[in-house]
Chains A and B, each alone.
Chain A
């Protein structure tokens, strides 16, 4: 498609090639031939009970789900996002799909069906504990990444559990956590994203089948990066995973999430909920490379990615950082948010969203400043090509008690070709005067000092701006953890000449 597009002056060939290489040849589009167990299509209280039963959940959890389902039935699908897709028939989806071989829970990854393990191997995800990511150079000290592999509706297993246990870190599937650590789950589940939060989150609360659970105890720096890899394999199946991350006082954890799905002609629904609780002095880094199948060049198929992600910085001086590289999905509806409740807490959001062909992305963040001296920073780069629509939608709210708080927002978009669209919809709400809120989207407003430095050394105005902006974009990419370096590398080439706000 890009071949026929006339590219305007100032956009480098390299950029166009990089976008092209991301489109059209979705490399994770194969599927794993395997026998599956499906629950009957559709959703009703019986299906909710069935999912709960399959996960061997206690009664309180079943009740929680049923209450969510009751709520969901009364909710309407939101229509405010700038995305357009055919009506979803929520009764024509499988809400539970499990590989047959997972019927009796394997005790360790060694017992898991090799075919399933192969799937992850093919995706480049190491499930063997000694392994490192293919292609990543081995640093002097071996880098370890613990992986929770979620295949359709179930978690296959979690690596490095022993090592983590020694450090006191709990990292397991959420179904296991509900059974093994009910006190933690009960305390935190739904406390950041309430059951009635929104249409998709409520549906997720009723039917989530699996997901990851992380608890980092006070003062512990998680000894390795934690990662969950989501794979949708079965056809006509929705994936509803739930992630709950709790960073107790003074702890630190870096968490990575990756997602892929096979190429199919019909659209598939993915409605996840991620809740993060950050206590006093704790820090959480959450990075995503979202690479769900985006549909073909005609806009057929692909994943509808309707995700609710929210972090609650409850404690003073707590910190959360969202980094996302959004390249996949036919339709994206996703706003990773930060509630900055604790004094001096910090929220950061770095996003690169690329939409090509008929992809539609409506993504952004919310920074809700409730505590004093809180800080937030939003950097969003949107790139549209083909016939795609890319929207940044964000909210920055300074509440009356959020004295002396700061927000800085920068969102840039780049259009490649004249059939696509780039949109910006920020909401700014300031309710006290000691806070400063800045929202900008002009390339002429890059840091004046840096510009002056370049200009002083004889670099032309435009080149100087490009240099500073590009340098900044690279900084965002480099902030991504090593494990995503490879996928992110493909995006580094993309520069942002001719940006529009």
Chain B
């Protein structure tokens, strides 16, 4: 009880910031989100959905102080993306490209006029994502987000859009909205960590035959915490892909909520994470709802954990009664490199249709000694051999990235992090 009272007080405190941001096209959505989160309350460690990850660090009033920032170059320079820079949670116009591109409009959330297309999407997908599992921190984000980008893809957008975060000391709440029109396509890249503690939301609405490709690399900053929510809603023949590469961070939780509402849809989410040290805690939580026929979904998540790091995977495939011919696949694997590292998994299936092929797998274990011996016997040093095996293990997750160049960029980033992380 004391716990609940404490979070109630925290929540009231945080919701006091609502008036400053509740304006423009998102005003109504923000007010309703504030009411919803007040009703739900903040998550506590007693909630089943937070069984393996303590939400305290995300709910306390102030984030823990973080040390100096390890600023990496963006891995995506070669793709020549349209770059949008966020510094300390604020949009940095000077460092960013102009907000325009072929088949594309980009607006800032803070500047959205009273009438804006995003008004129909902002908070709508997040609200839908609240059942059957409550996600109070996502509602909190909708209510209080200070900034974000609103991207409307009206046709095939060839040049990827990159959101680059340069973190400072701030407690950052960002909310992006993407709308992909019928037959349109967009690649969205994200890199960096928005703040000392970040709560980010991304709502993606993909119309018929639309395609959305999303890659995010985040981390390396050991003391920073991050909660991200990705909400996607898709119509007939749409394609959705999302991949996240994470390294370190005190607490990272990536939630991905996908609603498959049209026929012949394909939705892929994947991730690779490397974690060092006792205070590393990485959580991938995925919820995919199939509500149409002939759709396919994939979840591929791999983690390498060392020096007492903790990894969590909670994945769910919900197949509604008429979602026949569903092909759902889910795999979570982790490699524990030492005795103190831990892995928790809850791979769930809830199926109400009979003509489906759904499967899941989960494995946990140490590095394969036989493989290690094979490499050692060929003159490769132990550390190098281990790195090779780790890379090979994570590479399977990276295969989820369709574009060769982008995959190579992520692979380079991964190798760099793997060799330069300090526990």
B321–A501 contact, CB under 8 A?
no
A8–B364 contact, CB under 8 A?
no
Residue of A nearest to B329 (CB): A442
**List of B residues within 8 angstroms of A423 by Cβ:** 348-351
A436–B347 contact, CB under 8 A?
no
Contacts A430-B364, A436-B365 given: A444-B352 contact, CB under 8 Å? Answer: no
Partner of B339 from the list A427, A434, A442, A444 (CB cut-off 8 Å) is A434
**List of B residues within 8 angstroms of A441 by Cβ:** 349, 359-361
**List of B residues within 8 angstroms of A425 by Cβ:** 346, 348
Chain A min CB distance to B245 (Å): 22
Q: In the bound complex, how far is the Cα of B340 from the Cα of A228, in angstroms?
A: 45
Chain B min CB distance to A256 (Å): 32
Q: In the bound complex, how far is the Cα of B321 from the Cα of A350, in angstroms?
A: 29
Residue of A nearest to B316 (CB): A425
Q: In the bound complex, how far is the Cα of B48 from the Cα of A425, in angstroms?
A: 12
Stretch at the interface among A39-47, A167-175, A295-303, A410-418: A410-418
Q: In the bound complex, how far is the Cα of B352 from the Cα of A501, in angstroms?
A: 13
Contact with B along A397-413 (1 / 0, CB 8 A): 00010000000000001
The 5 A-B residue pairs with the shortest CB-CB distance in the complex, in nearest-first order: A433-B336, A442-B359, A415-B354, A436-B365, A428-B345
B354–A430 contact, CB under 8 A?
no
User: Which of B48, B334, B338, B360 has most chain A Cβ within 10 Å?
Assistant: B360
List residues of A (140-189) whose CB comes within 8 Å of B's CBs. none
B354–A420 contact, CB under 8 A?
yes
**List of B residues within 8 angstroms of A435 by Cβ:** 364-365
Q: Does residue A422 face the partner (Cβ distance < 8 Å to B)? A: yes
**List of A residues within 8 angstroms of B322 by Cβ:** 418
B357–A500 contact, CB under 8 A?
yes
Partner of A421 from the list B337, B341, B352, B358 (CB cut-off 8 Å) is B352
22 contacts between A and B (CB under 8 A): A416-B354, A418-B354, A418-B355, A420-B354, A421-B350, A423-B348, A424-B347, A426-B348, A426-B362, A428-B364, A430-B336, A430-B343, A432-B336, A433-B337, A434-B339, A435-B365, A437-B363, A438-B362, A442-B361, A445-B361, A498-B355, A501-B359
Residue of A nearest to B367 (CB): A433
Q: In the bound complex, how far is the Cα of B351 from the Cα of A426, in angstroms?
A: 15
**List of A residues within 8 angstroms of B358 by Cβ:** 500-501
Chain B min CB distance to A465 (Å): 12
Q: Does residue A487 face the partner (Cβ distance < 8 Å to B)? A: no
A436–B354 contact, CB under 8 A?
no
Residue of B nearest to A427 (CB): B346
B366–A413 contact, CB under 8 A?
no
Chain A min CB distance to B84 (Å): 39
Q: In the bound complex, how far is the Cα of B349 from the Cα of A422, in angstroms?
A: 8
Residue of B nearest to A435 (CB): B365
Residue of A nearest to B355 (CB): A8
Q: In the bound complex, how far is the Cα of B352 from the Cα of A417, in angstroms?
A: 10
Q: In the bound complex, how far is the Cα of B342 from the Cα of A435, in angstroms?
A: 11
List residues of A (475-501) whose CB comes within 8 Å of B's CBs. 498, 500-501
A422–B351 contact, CB under 8 A?
yes
Residue of B nearest to A436 (CB): B365
**List of B residues within 8 angstroms of A421 by Cβ:** 350-352
**List of B residues within 8 angstroms of A429 by Cβ:** 52, 342-344
Q: In the bound complex, how far is the Cα of B368 from the Cα of A436, in angstroms?
A: 11
**List of B residues within 8 angstroms of A419 by Cβ:** 321
A439–B48 contact, CB under 8 A?
no
Chain A min CB distance to B379 (Å): 26
**List of A residues within 8 angstroms of B351 by Cβ:** 413, 415, 421-423, 500
Partner of A439 from the list B337, B340, B363 (CB cut-off 8 Å) is B363
Q: In the bound complex, how far is the Cα of B362 from the Cα of A438, in angstroms?
A: 6
Give the interface size bracket for A toward B.
35 or more
Q: Does residue A85 face the partner (Cβ distance < 8 Å to B)? A: no
Q: In the bound complex, how far is the Cα of B342 from the Cα of A434, in angstroms?
A: 11
User: Which of B52, B334, B347 has most chain A Cβ within 10 Å?
Assistant: B347
Q: Does residue B356 face the partner (Cβ distance < 8 Å to A)? A: yes
Q: Does residue B353 face the partner (Cβ distance < 8 Å to A)? A: yes
List residues of A (431-457) whose CB comes within 8 Å of B's CBs. 431-445
B364–A437 contact, CB under 8 A?
yes
User: Which of A415, A433, A443 has most chain B Cβ within 10 Å?
Assistant: A433
Q: Does residue A80 face the partner (Cβ distance < 8 Å to B)? A: yes
Q: In the bound complex, how far is the Cα of B364 from the Cα of A439, in angstroms?
A: 9
Chain A interfacial positions (CB closer than 8 Å to B): 8, 80, 82, 400, 413, 415-445, 498, 500-501
User: Which of B338, B339, B354, B356 has most chain A Cβ within 10 Å?
Assistant: B354
**List of A residues within 8 angstroms of B347 by Cβ:** 424, 426, 428, 439
User: Which of A420, A427, A428, A444 has most chain B Cβ within 10 Å?
Assistant: A428
A418–B339 contact, CB under 8 A?
no
Q: In the bound complex, how far is the Cα of B357 from the Cα of A433, in angstroms?
A: 32
Chain B interfacial positions (CB closer than 8 Å to A): 48, 52, 321-322, 324, 334, 336-366
**List of A residues within 8 angstroms of B334 by Cβ:** 430
Q: In the bound complex, how far is the Cα of B340 from the Cα of A428, in angstroms?
A: 16
Q: In the bound complex, how far is the Cα of B340 from the Cα of A400, in angstroms?
A: 8
Known contacts A82-B350, A429-B52, A441-B349; 12 additional CB pairs below 8 A are: A8-B354, A8-B355, A417-B354, A420-B352, A423-B349, A426-B362, A428-B343, A433-B366, A438-B363, A442-B359, A445-B359, A498-B357
A80–B48 contact, CB under 8 A?
yes
Residue of B nearest to A439 (CB): B362
Q: In the bound complex, how far is the Cα of B357 from the Cα of A8, in angstroms?
A: 12
**List of B residues within 8 angstroms of A436 by Cβ:** 363-366
Residue of B nearest to A440 (CB): B361
Q: In the bound complex, how far is the Cα of B345 from the Cα of A273, in angstroms?
A: 29
A424–B354 contact, CB under 8 A?
no
Partner of B344 from the list A413, A428, A433, A442 (CB cut-off 8 Å) is A428
Q: In the bound complex, how far is the Cα of B350 from the Cα of A430, in angstroms?
A: 24
Partner of A500 from the list B48, B344, B356 (CB cut-off 8 Å) is B356
B346–A433 contact, CB under 8 A?
no
Residue of B nearest to A391 (CB): B350
**List of A residues within 8 angstroms of B340 by Cβ:** 400
Residue of A nearest to B336 (CB): A433
**List of B residues within 8 angstroms of A415 by Cβ:** 351, 353-354, 356
Chain A min CB distance to B30 (Å): 33
User: Which of A439, A445, A500 has most chain B Cβ within 10 Å?
Assistant: A500
**List of A residues within 8 angstroms of B365 by Cβ:** 433, 435-437
**List of B residues within 8 angstroms of A438 by Cβ:** 361-363
Chain B min CB distance to A440 (Å): 5
B342–A431 contact, CB under 8 A?
yes
B363–A444 contact, CB under 8 A?
no
**List of A residues within 8 angstroms of B360 by Cβ:** 424, 439-442, 501
Q: In the bound complex, how far is the Cα of B342 from the Cα of A400, in angstroms?
A: 9
Residue of B nearest to A423 (CB): B350
Q: In the bound complex, how far is the Cα of B348 from the Cα of A434, in angstroms?
A: 25
Q: In the bound complex, how far is the Cα of B351 from the Cα of A413, in angstroms?
A: 10
Residue of B nearest to A445 (CB): B361
**List of A residues within 8 angstroms of B359 by Cβ:** 440-445, 500-501
Q: In the bound complex, how far is the Cα of B366 from the Cα of A132, in angstroms?
A: 51
A433–B350 contact, CB under 8 A?
no
Q: In the bound complex, how far is the Cα of B348 from the Cα of A41, in angstroms?
A: 41
Contacts A417-B354, A437-B363 given: A432-B348 contact, CB under 8 Å? Answer: no
Chain B min CB distance to A412 (Å): 9
**List of B residues within 8 angstroms of A424 by Cβ:** 347-349, 360
Chain B min CB distance to A432 (Å): 6
**List of A residues within 8 angstroms of B48 by Cβ:** 80
A426–B346 contact, CB under 8 A?
yes
Chain A min CB distance to B19 (Å): 38
Q: In the bound complex, how far is the Cα of B360 from the Cα of A443, in angstroms?
A: 10
